[in-house]
Chains A and B, each alone.
Chain A
Amino acid sequence: MLIPHPLLGLRDAQEFTYLGDAALLNRPDGLTAPEAFNDYVYLRDNPAGVHRELWFHEQGDRSWLIVTRNTLTHDILGVELARDVALGAKGAK
């Protein structure tokens, strides 16, 4: 697979380490919402189709990326810097 890194262009997926569903960005607050952690830590949509997921450019610039990829075809539909997405989400709160 090739991942179109937003800063570095097409990079071989072998340079990256995979984590999982991008919902991991939405960490609940441990002091105010401890009951939300089971869902956060353990439950996944695991869709057969479009999936937003986290990849770390370990052998590269060490960016965490959110890759939108189809799990049936492996087609990549979009890539964003996770930091931008996370900041955007925090700004929206």
Chain B
Amino acid sequence: MRLQGGLIDRSKTLRFTFDGKSYQGHPGDTLASALLANGVRLMGRSFKYHRPRGPLSAGSEEPNALVELRSGARQEPNTRATVVELFDGLEAASQNRWPSLAFDAMAVNDLLADFLTAGFYYKTFMWPRAFWEKLYEPAIRNAAGLGRLSMEADPDAYDKGFLHCDLLVVGGGAAGLAAALTAARAGASVILADEDHRLGGRLLAESDLLDDQPATTWIADVESEFASLPNLRIMRRTTVWGAFDHGVYGAVERVADHLPTPASAVRQTLWRITARRMILAAGATERHIPFANNDRPGIMLAGAMRAYANRWAASPADRVAVFTNNDDGHHSALDMKAKGVSVAAVIDARPDAKAFGDYRLIAGAHVTSSRGRLGLRSVQVTHDRGREWIDCGALGVAGGWNPNLQLASHQRGRPVWDDTLHAFLPGDLPAGMTVAGAAAGHGSTQAALASGTKAAVEALAALGMTALPATLPRAEDRASGLHPLWHVPGKGRAWVDFQNDVTVKDIRLAHKENMRPVEHLKRWTTLGMATDQGKTSNVTALAVMAELTGQSIAATGTTIFRPPYTPVSLSVLGGGDTGTHFRPRRLTPSHEWARAHGAVFVEVGQWMRAQYFVQPGETHWRQSVDREVLATRKGVGICDVTTLGKIDVQGADAGAFLDRLYANPMASLKVGMVRYGLMLREDGHAYDDGTCARLTEDHFVVTTTTAQAGPVYRHMEFARQCLWPELDVQLISTTDAWAQFSVAGPNARKLLERIVDGFDLSNAAFPFMACASLTVCGGLRARLFRISFSGELAYEIAVPARYGHALIARMIELGADLGVTPYGTEALGVLRIEKGHPAGNELNGQTTAQMLGMGQMVSAKKDAIGAVMSRREGLLAEPRVLVGLLPVNPADPVVAGSHLFTKDAEQRTETDEGWITSAAFSPHIGSAIGLGFLANGRARLGEVITAANPLQGQQIALRVVSAHFVDPEGERLRA
């Protein structure tokens, strides 16, 4: 029902639907408050027994009133109706029920509750074995789960950002406001974050006055002062959900969740806040008192009931009762009365309880049962004079308050039990954190205000700043007078964890079965594993277990809280880096040129490389690739190889340094020459290969493979800074600085002669493995390396990256009569397989120099990284070496990933002799060819072996050949 007053804007009416039915509410309402105002108490079903449920709370701890919010791709399951800000046109549906919320066929589970006790599923469903996946599990899975995903991609945008401050205040209630005010006045940079859209926290839910004024008056004064403080950032609708190392906090700002759609804004933003100090002022969560049938819609926390009345002008019923073990419950009754709601009784477990006003007090009594299938009708009260049923549509339960210490234990600090407050308080705190207000056990408004101020003064003092305590308003300072009552004894089912349907009986059973350590209790019964992560159940359950074991609560222990404080959408954690933005795209200098010339691109790590160039009439990639390969071998081909890592190595000791990096000698390399280099990891396995070019005595340029460009550079810096800092050598990665093209084929020299500025390219002047700095195209500085990956007469030419596009365009233009053809990574791969050059598939981190046929390159005369370990017994005993493979039947395919066996041998792990690393169709050979590692391969040239690919049902006869399918004598590349 709707009451008078409240912090809702009655001047505007908002329409919304729940389960298809239309209702009205006002700005300021939550979905839950609006539904209660419309007389709707039933909002959900529990997880296991599908019991009808209404809201337990008025906040983010809500375990019952979970709905599917919105529809279509924006459908959002498990949304707490208690924190959804109402907007016009809001659509919500109940979940985990079929066919309807009021009639849920799955509620049959409730009738079977005696069979479905804690852990029952560990004891059955084992026979027959095949039935688990086919029958039992699908049934369980369909019954389990809560809401549904739309299965469509989230259409909204998300963002992430970084913030830094002196002080982060988490929670904008009494303590948080006092802390932020104190610190901001002192000039500190302060961030105040609160999950609500409105500052004030619990103050908004109370009727208590501050300085004889409504609390909202004081809050408004504070907010107006906040507005004048540029060093303070207020983040509303922002949940600080995790406390990480070194003062880093995760926060989510719900930028547009209160709007029908985000329109042009992001929906949510993920913030990483780095704070020198943090004050946790997250308040407290009320706990309930389990009694038989304590889960009916209408039974809620007493503090939530009065929050609905005071803040949202809503009541779950026109006649309510309160069950309490402390004075605070009485204030709920008083507030309800003040709002015109009839209070049937206050049932107080304490025999000596006194009334605080004009209502019926039943002291020394317990609520022992309730009635009302879809909503509370009456409660049974038991006292020493007997039993009675009291009619009421709602019951507020007040069992005391648990400090919200979650963030304080995210770094595994254990909460500490306080016997005076009967609550857990934060224990060891993360560095830089202090706790204030109700979160620290300071429950009254006056104590909370004072502790917030004190915490701010101390936090700033720790930063060397002086803050003056703010003058605080006069506020209530009531004691709670709590006498613990952890559950009402009895035989009926008394819920402890509402969502997961864990009852006192289940805890008893866990105790009986020796699942007594709290973690066993939790895991055996699923207690505390619901979407509230035990906020409304853990402490109560611990107390029940303590009672059963006869131990103190302190000795019983506690489970620890883990992030996030409240659940966080996966979209916002992804921060919007999704779809094609998942990783950066690195484009080569010739990318635009390639695109304009028919290139199809392929992902190579972060790079996009031209895979092949489609010419008119080509309908299959093989046509393009074969053409590119043949054109290169016949005329000249050009390929952008910029992605290879390039590292400039300079200094007097550059040669000595490279000698230690590469397995083969480098210091002896002559100026103006290039040498192939093989790097090992320190464990002796092949790491990477590339070329070293010595441009001058103290200047080398080395290349790495595309994949290892980053790691090899890091590795070289490690060697330089950590292993041999005494050497005079400097490194810089120049991968992005130079565009580099391979120019390969018999006409390569002719083509290059057309662009070099009077440079002698003759074989005598610039032989195989020569290098030089020169200029091309009339003054453009360039580097030229006569190296070949294809076995052809070939060069790599590098120019400053910004000229890459122009250079390839010029070479293509000038080489038309030479048959110049751009080629992509596919043709590059075919050319190198034809030549028997290892690449990523061969250098996969598991192979050795010996396997690659380069064992002789590992110099025994010098100390280089990996040399010692490459000589270990196991590496030397490895029989597999790189060979070439040709199909006996030229029409047969060669398939990489096939395993190699002696012909007609039995095929199993023990008889496995190797595998095919790379394969391609060779237009040069006219059949498929492959490279592979084969045991004793060098001695088996000519042998026919079997390539087994049982995965695809293939057995192919292959002949072992030299890995050099093209020009094995190397005449072409030296031409």
Report the minimum CB–CB distance from B401 to chain A (whole Å). Answer: 30
Asked if B318 is at the interface of the complex by the 8 Å CB criterion, the answer is no
Q: Which of A64-93 contact B (CB under 8 A)?
A: 64, 73-76, 81-83, 86-87, 90
CA distance A62 to B245 in the complex (A): 23
Q: Which of A14-68 contact B (CB under 8 A)?
A: 17, 19, 24-25, 27, 29-31, 34, 37, 40-42, 54, 56, 58, 62-64
A82→B683 contact, CB < 8 A? no
Return chain A residues, CB-CB under 8 Å to B725.
Answer: 83, 86-87, 90
Return chain A residues, CB-CB under 8 Å to B722.
Answer: 24-25, 54, 64, 82-83, 86
Report the minimum CB–CB distance from A69 to chain B (whole Å). Answer: 10
Which among B223-231, B379-387, B756-764, B864-872 touches the partner chain? B864-872
B246→A2 contact, CB < 8 A? yes
B246→A56 contact, CB < 8 A? no
User: A30-B864, A37-B869, A76-B246 given as contacts; is B274 within 8 A of A2 (CB)?
Assistant: yes
Report the minimum CB–CB distance from B427 to chain A (whole Å). Answer: 14
CA distance A19 to B868 in the complex (A): 21
Nearest-CB residue, chain A, relative to B871: A34
User: A19-B718, A30-B864, A75-B431 given as contacts; is B246 within 8 A of A41 (CB)?
Assistant: no
CA distance A60 to B248 in the complex (A): 20
A34→B868 contact, CB < 8 A? yes
B714→A17 contact, CB < 8 A? yes
Q: Mark B243-257, 1 if CB is under 8 A from A, else 0.
A: 011111000000000
Return chain B residues, CB-CB under 8 Å to A83.
Answer: 721-722, 725
CA distance A30 to B244 in the complex (A): 42
CA distance A47 to B88 in the complex (A): 58
For B248, give its contact among A2, A34, A58, A62 (CB under 8 Å).
A2
Return chain A residues, CB-CB under 8 Å to B274.
Answer: 2
A–B Cβ pairs within 8 angstroms, 20 of them: A1-B245, A2-B248, A2-B274, A17-B714, A24-B722, A25-B722, A29-B863, A30-B863, A30-B864, A37-B682, A37-B868, A41-B682, A42-B683, A58-B710, A62-B717, A64-B718, A64-B721, A76-B246, A83-B721, A83-B725
For A56, give its contact among B683, B714, B862, B867 (CB under 8 Å).
B714
User: A41-B683, A82-B721 given as contacts; is B245 within 8 A of A30 (CB)?
Assistant: no
User: A1-B248, A17-B714 given as contacts; is B721 within 8 A of A30 (CB)?
Assistant: no
User: A34-B868, A58-B714 given as contacts; is B246 within 8 A of A25 (CB)?
Assistant: no
User: A56-B714, A82-B721 given as contacts; is B868 within 8 A of A90 (CB)?
Assistant: no
Nearest-CB residue, chain A, relative to B710: A58
Residues of B within 8 A of A (CB): 244-248, 274, 411, 431, 682-683, 710, 714, 717-718, 721-723, 725-726, 862-864, 867-869, 871
Report the minimum CB–CB distance from A8 to chain B (whole Å). Answer: 15
Number of interchain pairs (Cβ within 8 Å): 66
CA distance A58 to B711 in the complex (A): 10
CA distance A82 to B411 in the complex (A): 29
For A74, give its contact among B245, B718, B863, B864 (CB under 8 Å).
B245
Nearest-CB residue, chain B, relative to A35: B868
Return chain A residues, CB-CB under 8 Å to B723.
Answer: 25, 27, 86
A30→B718 contact, CB < 8 A? no
CA distance A88 to B725 in the complex (A): 10
A86→B246 contact, CB < 8 A? no
Nearest-CB residue, chain B, relative to A76: B246
Report the minimum CB–CB distance from A75 to chain B (whole Å). Answer: 7
Return chain A residues, CB-CB under 8 Å to B245.
Answer: 1-2, 74
Other than the given A30-B864, A62-B717, 19 more pairs (CB < 8 A) read: A1-B246, A2-B246, A2-B248, A19-B718, A24-B718, A30-B863, A40-B682, A54-B718, A56-B714, A58-B714, A64-B718, A74-B245, A76-B246, A81-B721, A86-B721, A86-B722, A87-B726, A90-B725, A90-B726
Return chain B residues, CB-CB under 8 Å to A24.
Answer: 718, 722
B863→A31 contact, CB < 8 A? yes
Q: How many residues of A contact B (CB 8 A)?
A: 31
CA distance A56 to B248 in the complex (A): 21
User: A2-B248, A83-B725 given as contacts; is B867 within 8 A of A30 (CB)?
Assistant: yes
Most chain A beta-carbon neighbours within 10 Å: one of B710, B725, B867: B725
Report the minimum CB–CB distance from B661 to chain A (whole Å). Answer: 13
CA distance A87 to B726 in the complex (A): 7
Report the minimum CB–CB distance from B577 to chain A (whole Å). Answer: 14
Nearest-CB residue, chain B, relative to A37: B868
Most chain A beta-carbon neighbours within 10 Å: one of B246, B682, B862, B869: B246
Return chain A residues, CB-CB under 8 Å to B868.
Answer: 30, 34, 37
CA distance A21 to B380 in the complex (A): 66
CA distance A27 to B726 in the complex (A): 14
CA distance A3 to B722 in the complex (A): 19
Return chain A residues, CB-CB under 8 Å to B867.
Answer: 30
Return chain B residues, CB-CB under 8 Å to A17.
Answer: 714
Nearest-CB residue, chain A, relative to B861: A31
Most chain A beta-carbon neighbours within 10 Å: one of B245, B721, B726, B863: B721
Report the minimum CB–CB distance from A29 to chain B (whole Å). Answer: 6
Nearest-CB residue, chain B, relative to A1: B245
Nearest-CB residue, chain A, relative to B713: A62
Return chain B residues, CB-CB under 8 Å to A1.
Answer: 244-246, 248
Return chain B residues, CB-CB under 8 Å to A31.
Answer: 862-863
CA distance A90 to B411 in the complex (A): 39
For B721, give its contact among A40, A63, A90 (CB under 8 Å).
A63
Return chain B residues, CB-CB under 8 Å to A41.
Answer: 682-683, 869
Return chain B residues, CB-CB under 8 Å to A37.
Answer: 682, 868-869
Return chain A residues, CB-CB under 8 Å to B683.
Answer: 41-42
CA distance A63 to B720 in the complex (A): 10
CA distance A30 to B684 in the complex (A): 12
Report the minimum CB–CB distance from B651 to chain A (whole Å). Answer: 14
Return chain A residues, CB-CB under 8 Å to B247.
Answer: 2
CA distance A32 to B247 in the complex (A): 47
CA distance A83 to B718 in the complex (A): 9
Return chain A residues, CB-CB under 8 Å to B248.
Answer: 1-2
Report the minimum CB–CB distance from B249 to chain A (whole Å). Answer: 12
CA distance A34 to B860 in the complex (A): 12
Report the minimum CB–CB distance from B859 to chain A (whole Å). Answer: 10
Nearest-CB residue, chain B, relative to A73: B411
CA distance A56 to B713 in the complex (A): 11
Nearest-CB residue, chain A, relative to B431: A75
CA distance A13 to B714 in the complex (A): 16
Report the minimum CB–CB distance from B573 to chain A (whole Å). Answer: 15
Report the minimum CB–CB distance from A89 to chain B (whole Å). Answer: 9
CA distance A40 to B683 in the complex (A): 10
Report the minimum CB–CB distance from A71 to chain B (whole Å). Answer: 12
Report the minimum CB–CB distance from A13 to chain B (whole Å). Answer: 8
CA distance A42 to B681 in the complex (A): 13
> 6 nearest interchain CB pairs?
A30-B863, A2-B246, A83-B721, A34-B868, A1-B245, A74-B245
Report the minimum CB–CB distance from B729 to chain A (whole Å). Answer: 12
CA distance A76 to B246 in the complex (A): 9
Report the minimum CB–CB distance from B941 to chain A (whole Å). Answer: 34
Report the minimum CB–CB distance from A1 to chain B (whole Å). Answer: 4
Return chain B residues, CB-CB under 8 Å to A62.
Answer: 717
CA distance A90 to B274 in the complex (A): 38
CA distance A90 to B723 in the complex (A): 10
CA distance A7 to B725 in the complex (A): 18
A64→B717 contact, CB < 8 A? yes
Return chain A residues, CB-CB under 8 Å to B431.
Answer: 75
CA distance A41 to B725 in the complex (A): 20
Return chain A residues, CB-CB under 8 Å to B862.
Answer: 31
Return chain B residues, CB-CB under 8 Å to A82.
Answer: 721-722
CA distance A54 to B715 in the complex (A): 12
CA distance A73 to B413 in the complex (A): 11
Return chain A residues, CB-CB under 8 Å to B717.
Answer: 56, 62, 64
CA distance A41 to B871 in the complex (A): 14
Return chain B residues, CB-CB under 8 Å to A86.
Answer: 721-723, 725
Nearest-CB residue, chain B, relative to A90: B726
Return chain B residues, CB-CB under 8 Å to A90.
Answer: 725-726
CA distance A24 to B865 in the complex (A): 12
